[in-house]
Structure 1
Amino acid sequence: MSGETFKIDFETSIGPWLGRTVKMVDYHLQEAFDRHGLDMTKEQMVILKKLHEQDGINQNELASLTYRDKSSLARLISKMESKKYIRRVQSKEDKRNNEIFITEEGLKILAETRPVIQEVIDVMEQGINKEDKALIINTLKKVQNNFNLKSI
């Protein structure tokens, strides 16, 4: 085994391309939020979007839906509470759980992010036709499905 070389062709593997692209999107989205004076991160925006779709969701369900571990979500929720974007309420059914609600301030900042997000999407999709976009989305769905079918 010591004589074997570590060979993975990173130029033809989906993972590195996906990773670099996600980092670029994250960077440009944060830069756009900052440029527009929005006190927001992508992670906070994702939480607000989920709450806008499903307000009052259980904190554990929210962790699962956003692929976050419970402790990192708890820190994120505390930060968002301090900004008055959300409020945490102890569940009536199970006192160990919290339900998370979006506030008026959260709805306001979420609405302010929409045109900024669209601006980043427009740059990202520039020069990509509908057929290529559909192919990319289809391929990414296959990758996600591969992870859902198999535990690593």
Structure 2
Amino acid sequence: MDYYMQEVMSRHGLDLSKEQMIVLKKLHDQDGLKQNELASLTYRDKSSLARLLSKMEAKNFIVRKQSEEDKRSNEVFLTDEGRRIFHRTRPAIKEHLETMEQDLTEEEKHHIIQILKKVQFNFTGKTANL
């Protein structure tokens, strides 16, 4: 799945990994998240998220700013370029989903979602918002 997703992104001219796309989505939903909160929301440890954010800063997708409330933490914000790239991902994601769902009935899709929720719960103890 990751391979095909990367292929679709490349075909749409997007230099974006799945992990970067997840961060863009979380920040699109709630811009200005603290870096620690973002690590938790994306199921990443703090050091791997820091490396990912450094790459995203180099691409001008995000900017980190020191928190006004707690000088020890950073808040992460989308840049205009990050917003533009996020919106450009929509057609690529739609294409990817259409390919995945091809020839599946609504009942089959429902069963797949239920199974994936159970698998995620087995790993995390948390229910998925699928």
Normalising by structure 1, report the TM-score: 0.79
Q: Match for residue 124 of structure 2?
A: 148
Query: What is the CA distance between 1:88 and its match in structure 2?
Result: 0.3
Q: Match for residue 38 of structure 1?
A: 14
Task: Report the secondary structure of 1:51's partner residue.
Answer: helix
The structure whose Rg is larger is 1
Give 5+ residue unaligned stretches, structure 1. Answer: 1-24
Give 5+ residue unaligned stretches, structure 2. Answer: none
The whole-number CA distance in structure 2 between the counterparts of 1:149 and 1:36 is 36
Q: Match for residue 5 of structure 2?
A: 29
Task: Report the secondary structure of 2:71's partner residue.
Answer: coil
| Root-mean-square deviation (Å) | 1.3
Task: Report the secondary structure of 2:19's partner residue.
Answer: helix
The whole-number CA distance in structure 2 between the counterparts of 1:139 and 1:29 is 21
2:118 counterpart of 1:133: no
Q: Match for residue 77 of structure 1?
A: 53
> Which ranges of 4 or more aligned residues in structure 1 deviate by more than 4 Å?
none
Query: What is the CA distance between 1:148 and its match in structure 2?
Result: 3.5
Size of the alignment, in residue pairs? Answer: 126
Residue of structure 1 aligned with 2:72, choices 72, 89, 96: 96
Q: Match for residue 26 of structure 2?
A: 50
Normalising by structure 2, report the TM-score: 0.92
